[in-house]
Structure 1
Amino acid sequence: MTLDALSAHTETVPPAAALEEAAQRLIAQHADALPDLSGLIVLLPSLHAVAPFARALAQAAGRSTLILPRLTTLPQLAAQMPLLQPTTSELERQGLLYGALRERGWLREQDRWSMARALMSLFDELTLHRVALPEDEADFARRLAAAYGAREGPSLRFEARLVHSLWQVHNAVLADRPDATAAYVLRLSRLAREAPAPLYAVGLGQLAPVEVECLLRYAERQPVRVFAPALLEASKDPVQEVLAAAWMAGPDTLGERALRLRERHPASPLANRLRLSAAHGLEQAAQLAEHKLRRWLAEGRQSIAIVAQDRLAARRLRALLERCDILVSDETGWTLSTAAAASVVMRWLDLMASDFHHRELLDFLKSPLIFSDVPAPARREAVYELERLIRSRNLVSRLAHYRIAARETGSTSLALLDRLEAARRLWPREAKPLADWFATLRQTLDGLGITQALRADLAGAQLFALLATLEEDAQKTPGRFHLAEWRRLLDEALEATTFRDASIDSPVVFTHLAATRLRRFDGVILLGAGAEELPSRPEGSPFFNEAVRAELMLPTRRQTLESQRKDLAGLLSGANEVLAIWQSEKDGETHLPSPWFDVLATLHEMAWGDDLALREELRPISPPRSGATPRPAPRLAPAQVPTRISASGYNSLLACPYQYFARHVLGLNEEDEVTVEMEKQDFGQVVHRILARFHARHPVITRLGEEEAERILRAITEEVFAPLLAQNYLNHAWKLAWEAVLPDYLAWQRSREQNDWRVAGQEIARRRRLALDDGTAVELVGTLDRLDRADDRLAVLDYKTGDPSRLRKRLKDAGEDVQLPVYALLAGEQVAEAAYIVLAKEGPTLVPFARDIASEAALVEARLVNILGNLRAGAPLPAHGREESCRHCEMAGLCRRAFWETLP
């Protein structure tokens, strides 16, 4: 049943002035009742049309005072009809269908909630379209097979069995307590029986059969008049005449229709109304829309709509507008799951699932919604302390590990960690009723200081209201559910809920195509006019193809397309100017315009020699380059010159002064990363720790037997590697690599001790004061891996796990590698030997500093004093741009070497 069934009560009105014409006819019909029209009811397609129609009525009545009719929508009018029986919530329905699927063992557990929601949608359609399934399941399967044009295979029989059996379960359980859709049908029936006042309907669009039936039965008791815009008809509206010629099939060709249009309209009705623009990608689409919108605002236009068919481009446009302080009223909204308030809830559940992985934990704690009952400075300091603690101790996960470390160091983060532990204990492993899970979430939000912050946030307040409703509805949902099952239900609920910020009042509105019915705009940007976005793709359903839907008298894709096309036709009549934009290129692939606009452009070019393409000059997407990016060479004020420098900082200063500036002056050094899988650098640090512990306990290993020394070193290896192996099984490979070297290292160490060298210290932090010429001083700092003594001789040694030949190359040129000379300076006394101990798989190798270490250390000290003195005097810190320094430099994006090197 369609609107055609109401043809006896229907009058057409011109699309460009549908509200005005309908208002005039209503006023003419009830002129004797003026100024009181409160005894009438007017149905509109949405509440957006209420204010415009009220203005149209006032203008048509020509009175300063007018008592308006009841202006509403059909669902809202029906909602005012009381029901005697209680209703079933959507959550109860979904839980019922989920339980039936679980009881029968149908589908995977992770698919059941979404299948239950899909079944609810299907059953709602069946209810709204008065479709009754056959009583016999086998008969239903045969009808499906006939509609599909296929044999009754296992998959078809399973579809028939699933739909048929759950439809019966659904109807049997909900017979006494109707769901929302069944309640709507009952209210429509009561509305039709009571028919409280004469009824007018303006531009309602597509109605369900039960709604059409309601209006027909209503008309038996009260006058009913339906005003329908004459869309896509060759009527007196020139715009609709052009659109009908392009979009409505006929016996003649497109060229013949174009010729007739040109004869009837020498000037195109669309010439100053519609323009089409192909953008080369997302950014240009958004910038093109922003450019046009800002121009319209500058012209003083008061009502501008962005019809967001392309949601990604719309989000980018919104960001560009907010950058220019242009706020928009968003009628489309966004899913609640993407709001920060909802992400806090989901991150808490992710934390428990990941055993409080450090990245997720720090991300969670940095949200301002967490621990909102703690003063912000104290909260930030505690989180910062925890982050440093996690990085310094390489803590990957487990709340217990963080709490132990915080307790040992006296960190202020311990109080927050204790609250996290208390919240975690609320979540059991066993199954619980749905309502209990929602109650647990509520208690967790209270305990973590989130509730207060949510109530103060617009999206948070809506989330809190949703959770309260779900908890109340869950009280009537039977069965017990595991945490994973409840989590999937919560995900579904957040994805299905739309958040809209109603606090913004702006002349610019984001909306969707159906919401533009009967509305007038000074300008419209149709963002997403490509073949992928227009017509919109239908929401996927796991049930029934188009043939089956037609057999069951359910809406088909064809009907949906027709409705969208009429909405677009109404938009083009109701807007003073429309700019339709699509992305002609996406991910390197060509994308076509919507077939509706494609054929319209072709017809228009045939008729008037204009393909409707936008030809106005636009500002460039990016400002033109005035030349190459200059090679950076910052200068420091004396107060900016660091008063402390390490061996690595010194090496960085020599390799690239700008690299040193970025790392140590701007403080952009990369933070220590928590590593789960060990890397080569981490391996070297682990070996350092093992040998430091070993030699601290046994400075002279010749006092131990060979087997005893190896046993002790292997025990220390197990001790140091134990937490790393617990983090990641793959770290066993690094342990095996070290254990392969271990016997050779002990042999090498015995040989060294036979030459009278003894380990005198390891992991020794030292500092040295360097006086500058201007009377200031700089502190040279470093940690020496190892000091050896032989009588009155001192050796500075540094462990390495790299390539010996690479280290020899680094030491070949004087002054190129300053690490060993700096360590010699920090040793604080005459150094006889400096070398790297390379712990390679072939065995330990000593790579000695070949030149006189004392002389080289003196030269390194003098050069550093000179460099720092020059920096204090204003010397620049240029970027060298040498390949060997730039290859692994993390500051490459900051100095922009690629630009100043390749551009003229």
Structure 2
Amino acid sequence: MGQGERVEHGVVAWEGRATVDGFWQQFAQQVQAWLLRHSVAMRDAVVLLPFAQHLAIARRAFAALGPWLPRLETTRSLAAGLGPPRLARPGELIGEGALDLLQALSRLRGSGLGSEDPRADRLHASQLLELTQALQSAAASLGPQGRSAYWLRVAQVWRREVSVGLESELLRIALEWAQHIGPPATDVLFEHQASAWILLESGRPDHLARAVLSEALVPALRLEVAGPGGLQVASPWRVHEVDEAGSLPAAAAGQVLRLLAQDVRPVLMPATDRALMRQVKALLLPHGVQVQDETGGSLATTGPAAALRHAVRAALLGNMDDLLAWAKSPLAPVGLEGVSPLEAWARRQRVKRWGESVPARAPAQAWRRLLEVTQPLRAGGARRPLQQWLLGLRQMLAACLALEESRWTAHDQATWRACKETLWLSRSPWPGSAAEGLMDQVLDAAEWLDWVDESLQDATPTSEDLGAPHVVITPLNRAALRPFAATVLAGVDVGRWSLGRVAPALLRQSTAAELDLPNLPAAQAQQWAALQQLARLPQVVCVHARHGDGVPLDWAPPLQRMRAAFASPWVDAEEARRPVATTAASASRAQVALPGWLPKRWSASQVAALRDCPYQFFARVRLGLGEADEIDRDPDPRDWGRWLHAVLQVAHELGDPVVHWDAACRQVLEREGVPAQEVWPFLALLQRWGPAYLSWWPAEAKAGRRVEAVERQLEGPVWAEDPLLSSVIWIGRADRVDVLADGSTQLLDFKTGSASSLKARVETDPQLPFYAALLAHLGDPVQDAAYLAVDSKTRSLQALACPDTPQAARELVDGLAEDLRQLHAGEPLRALGEGVACEHCAARGVCRKDDWSSA
């Protein structure tokens, strides 16, 4: 009798009414009887199971038969238990996706297939690596004796299927690479001396285990899970349908909570859509539900990994958003101060980037400290060996005192350890290993950042074993033969159950199937087999959305097939979510009184807010509320006005603005940190403002006008003689003060846009009288004030004078004094609820206008 002929084949009959525990008892009894027939002691046999999750329940079943248990393993756990894996030699796959991708890139470029597009190279390298991994896995599952024939078969298929070109070269390299990789760690299985082998398969063939049994010289038995003909179900499946896909997470969580309230546990949730599972999990956790997530997820989605990515991107790319996120994380330098002022300044000024030079008006304390600690990573050249990049990162984190786990909460400490290990910050490669060789591979900053991202993306965070969880989220094929009390299938539409492309990207599905590589028909068969196993659970609830973004969502083909196979129709599931009746509270117009309170600092914008809407003044000044500016958004008219002021200042500082306008524009954009590749549209805008101002200035200068002060900071107690108001400090910044030919002074405020919008409010706007009053208090009164409207479209400039500026300033001082006295006395600040100020008010949610205006 030759090898392979000794393998007996059988089935484990799973009767329609049998439970999962009953199946495992039947399996254990069948194995026991077979071993008795072959005179093999239970303790000398090896039983190979589909997944590690089956080990515990199998041990319980065998323990019920007697004191001696067989060796219960999976192929992976048995190989690990037989000894440490062999170190990958240079050129061999390591098993870490990001490092193996570096090898694939090296082979691609070493074969002359590289291009000038780094992204295209990474795509082709990832396809090469994917195929190489699939070929190696298929060859490893055949055992040492069957590999030579397999490589010959692959070569024949290559010659038949492949044409010339890049694809042909990638296939050739993949075959050569996979063929010359050393023996896999699982080869120790073929050397293990067992008295008997038993393999249990469920839904998919285990080619490696079959090869082990085939080459064994001892009794071997392969068992498959089989049930009676036709689908057998414990009870009719229930269906809960919602109108829109956005309701799926809440509806699914409601069904889970309903089952748990009935003491039905554990509940299975097959992870057909990982994003949906994250949403459901987030809804369950606040209810105290213990969720065991076996999908693994990605280390990149954790807090420590996100902080690390922010740190390296801030150091190498100079992104201000990344810098601020890092500075507020546990990885920030110990004792870092000045982050809040830096963030406020960066958001106010819309500063997107940071670097070696500290802008003149930037809060420098945090900026300089972060520059100091990032120096080890930024220094060393644009292209460095991988180990030098890692050394720089380690030194940067050490300078921050961030390598220690104590910086993190107890929940995140294990994750931080995983991050350090994944990025080789807490371990070193073995001498002579493939990993050691890759540490010398030279990368530029972009390639290294890609490596960091891919390493964290590929790694799986450590998950806590909850022992007896309420809910288990696991891939569909790992749910079979496990004792769940119920399952909730969340999202049963075509999109969420689609398997996508299963075969390696370089191969057709039929070619992949011919070579025993992953392929769509095999994956669909496994999906159907796993779904059949779910039919045996006591309760199954399907949560289906009829529409997604307004588009009808069809049931997934496996679920349609399942519905067609049922002898009895599915029943509607009870809506688990309960509507809560609420009574709308009566709402009145918002108002608040602040007796005894006065603002400490007093600005023109606060005056405008008080006049536009007193309640808006309360929200902005007393509560300190305001919109958080976004750093990465495109410049808006507020930024353009600020840039125009800066250009005017620089142009006059350089000399004649007519001569130096373009230079001033470039200098301002450089100072604002606008990247070189983005500078042209903004430079064109600033240059378009030039003709308007430069057509006005020469005639004024010839008439005797000269610039006296630019961007002057103003501050002083205008009501110094008033006992009640003397503590209120007026503040502001005057755009410009000019001296005219007759010696009088004029206050100017530059505005971008058309003059028509300014004309309507020039007599009521408090800005010019406010600054005029403040200048008068400081001993520099102005005789005139005007807005200068610079219109880039018409390339014209129009002066809009403030009538009788000194008188307007005095009236403003007296009127505001009376307003603040009333405020101090307790006069309510009421929400006006009308006008343009209300339509665009950021404090609309504070005054709740939408409630009381519709009451």
What is the TM-score with the length of structure 1 in the denominator? Answer: 0.79
SS in 1 for 2:473: strand
| Corresponding letter in the other structure for 2:461 | F
Whole-Å separation in 1 of the counterparts to 2:133 and 2:420: 25
Aligned partner of 2:551 in structure 1 is 589
Q: For 1:466-485, what aligned pairs fall within 5 Å after superposition?
A: 466-468=422-424, 471-472=429-430, 473-477=434-438, 480-483=441-444, 484-485=446-447
SS in 1 for 2:108: helix
- CA distance 1:710–1:512, shift in 2 (3 Å): closer
1:399 aligned onto 2:355: yes
Identify the match of residue 221 of structure 1 among 218, 221, 244.
218
Whole-Å separation in 2 of the counterparts to 1:725 and 1:347: 19
CA drift at 1:615: 3.7
SS in 2 for 1:514: helix
1:462 aligned onto 2:418: yes
Deviations 1:156-213 (A, max 9, x none): xx534432343134424x3xx32x3xx32x223213xx22x34444455423434213
Aligned partner of 1:820 in structure 2 is 768
Whole-Å separation in 1 of the counterparts to 2:576 and 2:254: 11
| Corresponding letter in the other structure for 1:397 | R
CA drift at 1:649: 1.0
Aligned partner of 1:317 in structure 2 is 280
Whole-Å separation in 1 of the counterparts to 2:264 and 2:746: 81
8 Å contact from structure 2 (residues 238, 541) kept in 1: yes
Aligned partner of 2:117 in structure 1 is none
8 Å contact from structure 1 (residues 329, 504) kept in 2: yes
Aligned partner of 2:135 in structure 1 is 123
8 Å contact from structure 2 (residues 269, 488) kept in 1: yes
Aligned partner of 1:168 in structure 2 is 176
1:809 aligned onto 2:747: no
Aligned partner of 1:234 in structure 2 is 229
Whole-Å separation in 2 of the counterparts to 1:719 and 1:554: 60
1:765 aligned onto 2:714: yes
1:51 aligned onto 2:56: yes
Whole-Å separation in 1 of the counterparts to 2:211 and 2:662: 86
Aligned partner of 1:105 in structure 2 is 112
8 Å contact from structure 1 (residues 42, 70) kept in 2: yes
| Corresponding letter in the other structure for 2:235 | L
SS in 1 for 2:760: helix
Whole-Å separation in 1 of the counterparts to 2:813 and 2:407: 61
- CA distance 1:751–1:895, shift in 2 (3 Å): farther
Identify the range of structure 1 (66-75 vs 723-732) with the bigger mean alpha-carbon deviation: 723-732
- CA distance 1:854–1:431, shift in 2 (3 Å): closer
Whole-Å separation in 1 of the counterparts to 2:173 and 2:70: 47
8 Å contact from structure 1 (residues 799, 838) kept in 2: yes
8 Å contact from structure 1 (residues 762, 785) kept in 2: yes
- CA distance 1:583–1:7, shift in 2 (3 Å): farther
CA drift at 1:849: 2.5
8 Å contact from structure 1 (residues 458, 501) kept in 2: no
8 Å contact from structure 2 (residues 489, 540) kept in 1: yes
| Corresponding letter in the other structure for 2:571 | L
- CA distance 1:67–1:637, shift in 2 (3 Å): farther
- CA distance 1:718–1:491, shift in 2 (3 Å): closer
Q: For 1:364-513, what aligned pairs fall within 5 Å after superposition?
A: 364-371=326-333, 374=334, 378-379=335-336, 381-388=337-344, 390=346, 396-402=352-358, 411=365, 413-426=367-380, 428-432=381-385, 434-453=386-405, 457-468=413-424, 471-472=429-430, 473-477=434-438, 480-483=441-444, 484-502=446-464, 504-505=466-467, 506-513=469-476
Q: For 1:562-601, what aligned pairs fall within 5 Å after superposition?
A: 562-573=525-536, 575-601=537-563
Task: Give % identity.
Answer: 23
| Corresponding letter in the other structure for 1:304 | V
| Corresponding letter in the other structure for 2:340 | Y
Deviations 1:377-432 (A, max 9, x none): x32x3323433555677754342113x759x9762542332111233114x32353
Aligned partner of 1:885 in structure 2 is 837
| Corresponding letter in the other structure for 1:594 | A
Whole-Å separation in 1 of the counterparts to 2:570 and 2:398: 61
Whole-Å separation in 2 of the counterparts to 1:488 and 1:717: 36
8 Å contact from structure 2 (residues 242, 546) kept in 1: yes
CA drift at 1:125: 4.2
Deviations 1:751-805 (A, max 9, x none): 7648xx9958862504345599978864443333345678797654433333222
Whole-Å separation in 1 of the counterparts to 2:204 and 2:153: 32
CA drift at 1:37: 5.4
Q: For 1:649-668, what aligned pairs fall within 5 Å after superposition?
A: 649-668=606-625
Whole-Å separation in 1 of the counterparts to 2:154 and 2:214: 34
SS in 2 for 1:116: helix
- CA distance 1:105–1:889, shift in 2 (3 Å): farther
Note the residue ranges of structure 1 that are not aligned, 5 or more in a row: 146-152, 243-268, 699-707
What is the TM-score with the length of structure 2 in the denominator? Answer: 0.83
Note the residue ranges of structure 2 that are not aligned, 5 or more in a row: 115-119
CA drift at 1:650: 1.1
8 Å contact from structure 1 (residues 677, 731) kept in 2: no
Whole-Å separation in 2 of the counterparts to 1:766 and 1:625: 52
SS in 1 for 2:365: coil
- CA distance 1:878–1:309, shift in 2 (3 Å): farther
CA drift at 1:481: 3.0
SS in 2 for 1:53: helix
CA drift at 1:520: 0.9
Identify the range of structure 1 (729-738 vs 635-644) with the bigger mean alpha-carbon deviation: 635-644
| Corresponding letter in the other structure for 1:213 | A
Whole-Å separation in 2 of the counterparts to 1:803 and 1:20: 85
**Cα RMSD over matched residues?**
4.1
Aligned partner of 2:512 in structure 1 is 549
Deviations 1:449-483 (A, max 9, x none): 33224996222211222233685542134973323
SS in 2 for 1:799: strand
CA drift at 1:648: 1.0
1:647 aligned onto 2:600: no
Aligned partner of 1:23 in structure 2 is 28
8 Å contact from structure 1 (residues 768, 825) kept in 2: no
8 Å contact from structure 2 (residues 338, 363) kept in 1: no
Aligned partner of 1:253 in structure 2 is none
Aligned partner of 1:73 in structure 2 is 74
| Corresponding letter in the other structure for 2:232 | E
CA drift at 1:55: 2.8
Deviations 1:36-82 (A, max 9, x none): 95444333222222222333334455xxxx45433221322233345
Identify the range of structure 1 (793-802 vs 783-792) with the bigger mean alpha-carbon deviation: 783-792
- CA distance 1:843–1:227, shift in 2 (3 Å): closer
